[in-house]
Chain A
């Protein structure tokens, strides 16, 4: 059994751990870009090159993955960060060291859970694909919960989506090019919209703190109370 897929998956998993410990927004976006590139490489190393296969389709998918998730989306996000003039530090709800420990817990739980659920590894393209995918998805969700900025929620969503892609690759859905492309298009559109939304939010309110959006509401009736709106935007 070749160990190349396992190495790629472990590298992928490790980008997650670095991601939850990194405090700079640009660094986080770069890490998600690295994940995107790894995601393009993963189907190539998963593939059983001996069997007759549509190589063209595979290479096309991998290149599209790299182009969209490794280059286009990170560029878009960096552009949004620049335009919105966001402060470069993240504002974590959960501290970095604790986030890392939590990531370790998630990974260990995913490995253990996979062992309990699945006895037969032969169906998968790679031994570690499913647990790594599950851990990535959970860490993506964790990033969405534990970071305050709207842009980090986009990042968390992207990590989550990367996890789903690894899952699909691990189960090696053959001839899934159309499905993959559809998903990629979805993600691209979603990140595009979210990027624009982040930009608009910051233009309107001078910050992109997602928590404080909860306080948004209709303006109070002027005849009921002459008091100013309960929440002021700095």
Chain B
């Protein structure tokens, strides 16, 4: 049970995902606007914003060290590198090696660490609050993410991302659908948490006391801010595509059908995030760990299902 090896196809999908990633934010905004009865920003508004920002000149506070300037680039490159290991569009990644899933997680961790360090570098108290929350919540999210990886690794008997994601079809028929249900649900929570979406962090808030991600990037302007926006959309894209690959069965018709279903699923997840954001309020910070531990419980239930049944 493995993905097809097709380096050309994978490369096309990789480039397509670089191009399509900001579209997800457009979809989320459209869905939210629909729920609010507004017309909302154009679907491509995020692209325009990024292009506009990239034409400007960056400004940095004189009290900061180099970390503030370095962080957006390193963070972008780390996420890009992580995306190299995703079997985009059901093609096996040409760079896949045993253990790349650990590398994948730590590249995302590196990106987050740089963002946090840069926020601390500004010396702003709001940025400090934001980074403290980010560190706390991402620690919880990582626990769930690694529990999911453990689950998949037990099924696939491998810790290569390209093998892991195609593994769910191997589970015992009786328990496969509940297990997939639990793991996919938990992964959706991880997506919301990792990408600072609504029940955890309000991306639209301008109240510094309640911000997490936005509080960390308060001091950026110009091309660096554009880079951060682009990195965020790439991260959302990679998480959504992991979830899509997780629940996609191994064979979905021909190659083209598979790719189309994959892309549609990713867009559907963006729409689902939009729906969640429209119907839910942000949780109190005290309440966040309950939800995260709840999803950890879901994954661990799936793991014990796997071990004992």
Interface residues of A (CB under 8 A from B): 1, 3, 6-7, 9-10, 13-14, 17-18, 21, 23, 96-97, 100-101, 103-104, 107-108, 111-112, 114-115, 127-128, 131
Contacts and interface: CB of A to CB of B under 8 A. Distances in A.
Interface residues of B, number: 24
A100 B304 contact: no
Contacts of B176: 3
A127 B300 contact: no
B298 A17 contact: yes
B99 interface: no
A7 B291 CA distance: 21
A97 B140 CA distance: 12
Interface of B: 173-178, 181-182, 287, 289-291, 293-294, 296-298, 300-301, 304-305, 307-309
B280 to A, nearest CB: 14
Contact of B301 (A97, A104, A127): A104
Contact of B178 (A6, A17, A108): A6
19 contacts: A3-B176, A6-B177, A7-B178, A7-B181, A9-B178, A10-B178, A10-B181, A17-B301, A21-B291, A107-B297, A107-B300, A107-B301, A111-B308, A111-B309, A112-B307, A112-B308, A114-B308, A115-B309, A127-B175
Contacts of B296: 104
Given A111-B304, A128-B309, A100 B297 contact: yes
A7 B177 contact: yes
- Most chain A C-beta atoms within 10 Å of own C-beta, residue among B174, B177, B297, B304: B297
Contact of A107 (B174, B294, B304): B304
Given A14-B298, A17-B298, A103-B297, A3 B308 contact: no
Nearest to B301: A107
Given A111-B309, A112-B304, 15 more contacts: A3-B173, A3-B174, A3-B175, A3-B176, A6-B175, A6-B178, A18-B294, A96-B290, A97-B290, A100-B297, A101-B297, A103-B297, A108-B300, A127-B174, A127-B309
Given A17-B294, A100-B290, A108 B182 contact: no
Nearest to B299: A104
A contacts with B: majority SS = helix
A28 to B, nearest CB: 13
B277 to A, nearest CB: 21
B177 A3 contact: yes
B144 to A, nearest CB: 12
A100 B295 CA distance: 10
Contacts of A23: 287
A131 B178 CA distance: 15
B171 to A, nearest CB: 11
Given A7-B177, A7-B178, A112-B308, A100 B294 contact: yes
A43 to B, nearest CB: 18
A3 B304 contact: no
Contacts of A100: 290, 293-294, 297
Contacts of B297: 17, 100-101, 103-104, 107
Contacts of B291: 21
Contact of B174 (A1, A96, A108): A1
Contacts of A14: 182, 298, 301
Given A7-B177, A7-B181, A21 B293 contact: yes
A104 B300 contact: yes
A191 to B, nearest CB: 27
Contacts of B287: 23
A127 B177 CA distance: 13
B308 A115 contact: yes
A128 B294 CA distance: 20
